[in-house]
Amino acid sequence: MHISILGGGGFLGRKIAARLARDGRLAGRPITGLTLFDIEPPAPPPRAPFPVTAVPGDLADLPTEAIPSETEIVFHLAAVVSAQAEADYDLGRRVNLRGTDAVIDLCRRASHPPRVVFTSSVASFSGGQRAILSDDARQVPANSYGAQKAIGELLLADASRRGFLDAVSIRLPTVIIRPGRPNRAASGFISAILREPLLGLPAELPVPEDFAVWVCSPRRAVDWLLHAASIATNPMGLDRSVTPPGISVTIGHMLQALEQVRPGAAALVRPVADQAVAEIVAGWPAAFVPARAHTLGFSPHEPLIELIRDFIAEDLAPTRAERGLAA
């Protein structure tokens, strides 16, 4: 089984590659090769028991080497994130729309229609703090990133209907705690208010503490994406999108959990107004009822405090090293 990861240099791409290298198999089948694609050549996972090829390039002008003809699984993770897509409309359209179109075109040339696992987003919905959305809720995005993700879902569903590929789109919650450096996502502060204090650094909070967010851990996101690569899609019918079972928490609950794990750390978080970020995240729903995901076998989420402890165990030291901070 050959697998391609588009966005293989991102933190989820790296984690998926590391899991594949550790297991050597997916859905009970041995992995024969892995292609990692990103703007710059991604670093291969250590000790992979199969050949790994790094391919650099532009997603909107996707090189054929990014999805070799024998590829059976494509993880399409590459994207321009929320705040950046809102600030640079042309860039967001180029990467998030034309890039997904380019993925479909390459998959049409494959020797067999590959499974495409697409990272969509809860930003493709609106409704705000009072919303608790069911699986049949309409996608009415309140930002360009969400609109581009919703369009990507429809393009991939139609390509699946036509037999060009076999898509599963995962509407990921905000993934926390992101390791490494801050990124351009509007939701970046949700990771930062936990990650930065754990590093001994201050963090800015642009929303009130009673603000609720729909989140998941990197570990659970990877589990869901790998599960999406292996499930039977016939029961999904024309609807190839799934809202996985994240958890709804308030900022205040996050800070309480942080304080429980690392006493005194929450004092490093301070309110700072950021109207642009606050306006984007204010439209995102605070909670979902992901009944379809449970039916399809997606695993439930772990408690918030376990999420924080997992970051400390797995990602805190590498994040310190990446950012040149003393231990």
Residues with a catalytic annotation lie at: 145
Judging by DSSP bridges, how do beta strands 212-216 and 247-250 pair with one another?
antiparallel
The contacts of residue 1 (CB under 8 Å, 6+ apart) are 26, 29, 30, 31, 32, 72, 73
Residue found by looking up tokens 């801050």 in the block: 182
Distance of CA 209 to the CA centre of its chain: 24
Residue found by looking up tokens 């608790």 in the block: 132
- Which tokens sit at 106? 């390459």
The contacts of residue 249 (CB under 8 Å, 6+ apart) are 212, 213, 215, 304
Neighbours of 241 (CB within 10 A): 22
Neighbours of 194 (CB within 10 A): 27
Distance (Å, rounded) from C-alpha 154 to C-alpha 151?
A: 5
Q: Directed axis angle between helix 304-314 and helix 218-228, to 10°?
A: 90
- Per DSSP, helices labelled H in 162-303 are 188-198, 218-228, 251-261, 275-282, 291-295
3-state percent breakdown (helix, strand, coil) of the chain, nearest 5: 45, 20, 40
Buried/exposed 281-316: b ≥16 CB within 10 Å, e otherwise: bebbbbbbebebbeebebeebeebeebbebbeeebb
- Which tokens sit at 112? 């067999």
